[in-house]
Amino acid sequence: MLDKTNSDEIHPLFHGAPKTTEFRKLRKRIVRATREAVEQYGMVREGDRWLVCLSGGKDSYTLLAALTELQWRGLLPVDILACNLDQGQPGFPATVLPEFLEKMGVPHRIEYQDTYSIVMDKVPQGRTYCALCSRLRRGNLYRIAREEGCSAVVLGHHRDDILETFFMNLFHGGRLATMPPKLVNEEGDLFVMRPLAHVAEDDCDKFARAMNYPIIPCDLCGSQDGLQRQQVKQILDGWEKNAPGRRQVMFRALMNTRPSHLLDPGLFDFAGLTLPAEAKKTPS
């Protein structure tokens, strides 16, 4: 069972949801996977306040809906404050998210910071904006979390984001690393959490579109061709097409590492390995 309440009762964020069995299964799958990640990675400390970051994309709408439903059903004992950082991108529909959040009765804060101009000024033509844009956005979100008394900044990265980051680090960074579901920021005063870690991107897309949420595209990053992440996504799409389910198999591998079968002496004491047979021969 997903929860102890009537499964036909839903939070206002789900009002207007399709009545089909397919959508009902999709909703339950997303909420169940979110609850699983929250519990598995120990995200909840009762009484905490979370800053749930809302960009207006399909993933952050799905995050907000899943967390709010869990909270509404008494399964997530934290306060939620939705936050959108308006970064000053030309043509950004500034009224969409405030109106949506007001209508849904979701506590929120809208913050305006023109990081767009900084990015455009500092990044040479032809280079990608993502690194600087992300750094400026994250710094502002940390500041807002502190001002609002939040213990965690909660992001909408899903399973496919985590996989793509792993392969980007593998192909371009020369390391085995990805976005963890839970970490502590460099200053040591905030958690950064990703409750959608077990949720597939395709499910987020289907859910947000079925709910007809007012999706806002990221024209700043999305307008650039040849991004490393897009290249990795194409590779993963090809693998998935040839072998359906491969994404989930690869994701499970990230949860099933064997340090003794890798090559990092910092994770496993190769030099200290001994032969049990020789140890038995050693006189006492």
Q: Which residues are CB-contacts of 128 (< 8 A; sequence separation ≥ 6)?
A: 221, 224, 227, 228
Q: How far apart are the first and last CA of the chain?
A: 58
Q: What is the residue whose two structure tokens read 């079968």?
A: 261
Task: Map residue 173 onto helix, strand or coil.
Answer: helix
Pairwise CA distance, residues 11 & 68, whole Å: 8
Q: Does residue 130 have a known ligand-binding role?
A: yes
SS3 of 154-165: the string is: ECCCCHHHHHHH
Token look-up 């990015």 returns 119
- Quickly list DSSP for 234-248: HHHHHHHHHSTTHHH
Please tell me the distance from the alpha carbon of residue 112 to that of residue 115, in angstroms, as a whole number: 9
**Tokens 């990053």 — which residue?**
221
CA angle 161, 163, 164 (to 5 degrees): 65
* 107 contacts 82 by C-beta, under 8 angstroms: yes
Q: The tokens 């397919």 sit on which residue? A: 22
- Of 80, 77, 12, the closest CA to residue 49 belongs to 80
Phi/psi for 2 (5° steps) reads -70, -40
- Tell me if residue 10 falls in helix, strand or coil: coil
Note the residue count of the chain: 284
**The two three-digit tokens of residue 215, written as one number:** 């999706």
Q: Which two tokens stand for residue 214?
A: 């007012």
Q: Which residues make up each annotated binding site for [4Fe-4S] cluster?
A: 130, 133, 221
Q: Which residues make up each annotated binding site?
A: 130, 133, 221
